[in-house]
């Protein structure tokens, strides 16, 4: 029964492909815990190198839950005012549809003043999109089961036109202005608008996603920006209001909230949605309220967040659980003596 439902859902997806071509990309609630996924301009921007792991389990109470995992690493090339970024992500939808991405980023950083840096980044990625056909059953196979006791093969014309795998190149760019007390960034993903359709002789164009990130850091400890040791790094006390806006085709989304850092703890809360806007169906454009708790000590940080669903899907779907783990290397790959003295944090938060 589950398999017959699966094929029904997939047929429905295929029928709705022109609309899904305008759908949003995978997203993380802890977006600053995976900055390379926001914009390639973040690669190596802190003059140090780090590794980030993120996992999101969305709507766990539904059979068609969504899971997303990413591993990213940025490598500082301070001698050349540059940074390299490496990204690897995978997401699974409907237990059948899986997408894997491998990407490489390059960013160039320009010091405008001792407290201002402007960064430009670009990204090239290869995406592999695949469908597991083994668990799908077509309607004529159910008929065969009732008449002969076996599923047999299918003659469904839709399934015969499906490619199990689809690969394409994906290009993105971004820019970031970071200062002592505020930051503002812009990014454009999928600027080449690749075709990601799994159906032969069909197009499912991935619309370009534009985003704007901005915020400010209100320091509650003045000597934080002169920190040059683990002791000072571990004493941060600050409040960071943030705004993150995304638009992809007809889809629009706004995240707004704040992070409170009282080392070694980090607390955050923000709202996802556009309060005064409505969807095409006339429903309020509201998605969730997100709560975060994080811990950061020395080079290690870990965070957990939970999304409380506000949309019509409701809390019964189970919301979304998200885990992030990061390790700061304090390492510059362009220097003969690669360990560098830590100067100061980016003004944007870490989760």
Q: Quick check: is 184 in a domain?
A: yes
What was the pLDDT predicted at 259? 94
Environment class of 70 (CB within 10 Å of its CB; exposed 0-12, middle 13-18, buried 19+): buried
Residue numbers of the domain that contains 265: 2-328
More confident residue, 156 or 43: 43
Q: Quick check: is 350 in a domain?
A: no
What percentage of the chain reaches a pLDDT higher than 70? 72
The structure's pTM equals 0.83
Q: Quick check: is 351 in a domain?
A: no
- Determine contact, residues 207/193, Cβ cutoff 8 Å: yes
Q: Quick check: is 336 in a domain?
A: no
Q: How far apart are CA 169 and CA 227, in angstroms?
A: 42
Environment class of 232 (CB within 10 Å of its CB; exposed 0-12, middle 13-18, buried 19+): middle
| Domains of the chain: total | 1
pLDDT in tens, 134-160: 666 655 556 655 566 555 555 555 555
CATH of residue 143's domain is 2.40.160.40
pLDDT in tens, 260-295: 999 899 999 999 988 776 666 556 677 899 999 999
Q: Quick check: is 19 in a domain?
A: yes
Q: Quick check: is 316 in a domain?
A: yes
Q: What angle do CA 318, 307, 284 make, to 5 degrees?
A: 95
């Amino acid at each position: 029964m589950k398999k017959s439902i699966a094929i029904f859902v997939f047929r429905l997806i295929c029928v709705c492909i022109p609309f899904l071509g305008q759908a949003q990309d995978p997203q993380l609630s802890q977006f600053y815990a995976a900055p390379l996924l926001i914009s390639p301009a973040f690669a190596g921007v802190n003059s140090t190198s780090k590794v980030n792991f993120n996992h999101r389990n969305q709507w766990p109470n539904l059979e068609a839950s969504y899971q997303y995992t990413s591993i990213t690493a940025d490598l500082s090339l301070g001698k050349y005012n540059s940074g390299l970024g490496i990204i690897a992500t995978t997401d699974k939808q409907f237990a059948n549809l899986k997408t894997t991405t491998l990407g490489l980023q390059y960013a160039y950083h320009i010091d405008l003043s001792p407290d201002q840096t402007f960064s430009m980044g670009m990204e090239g990625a290869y995406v592999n999109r695949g469908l597991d056909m083994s668990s799908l059953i077509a309607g004529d196979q159910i008929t065969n089961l009732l008449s002969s006791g076996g599923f047999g093969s299918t003659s469904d014309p839709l399934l015969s036109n499906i490619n199990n795998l689809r690969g394409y190149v994906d290009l993105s760019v971004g820019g970031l202005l970071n200062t002592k007390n505020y930051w503002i960034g812009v990014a454009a993903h999928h600027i080449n608008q690749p075709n990601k359709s799994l159906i032969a002789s069909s197009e499912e164009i991935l619309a370009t996603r534009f985003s704007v990130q901005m915020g400010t850091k209100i320091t509650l400890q003045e000597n934080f920006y002169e920190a040059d040791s683990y002791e000072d790094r571990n004493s941060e006390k600050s409040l960071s209001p943030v705004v993150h806006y995304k638009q992809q085709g007809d889809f629009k989304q706004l995240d707004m909230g704040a992070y409170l850092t009282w080392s070694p703890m980090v607390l955050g809360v923000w709202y996802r949605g556009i309060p005064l806007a409505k969807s095409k169906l006339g429903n309020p454009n509201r998605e969730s309220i997100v709560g975060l708790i994080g811990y950061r000590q020395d080079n290690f940080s870990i965070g957990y967040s939970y999304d409380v669903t506000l949309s019509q899907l409701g809390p019964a779907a189970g919301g979304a659980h998200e885990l992030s783990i990061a390790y700061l290397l304090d390492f510059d790959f362009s220097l003969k003596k690669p360990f560098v003295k830590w100067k100061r944090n980016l003004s944007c938060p870490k989760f």
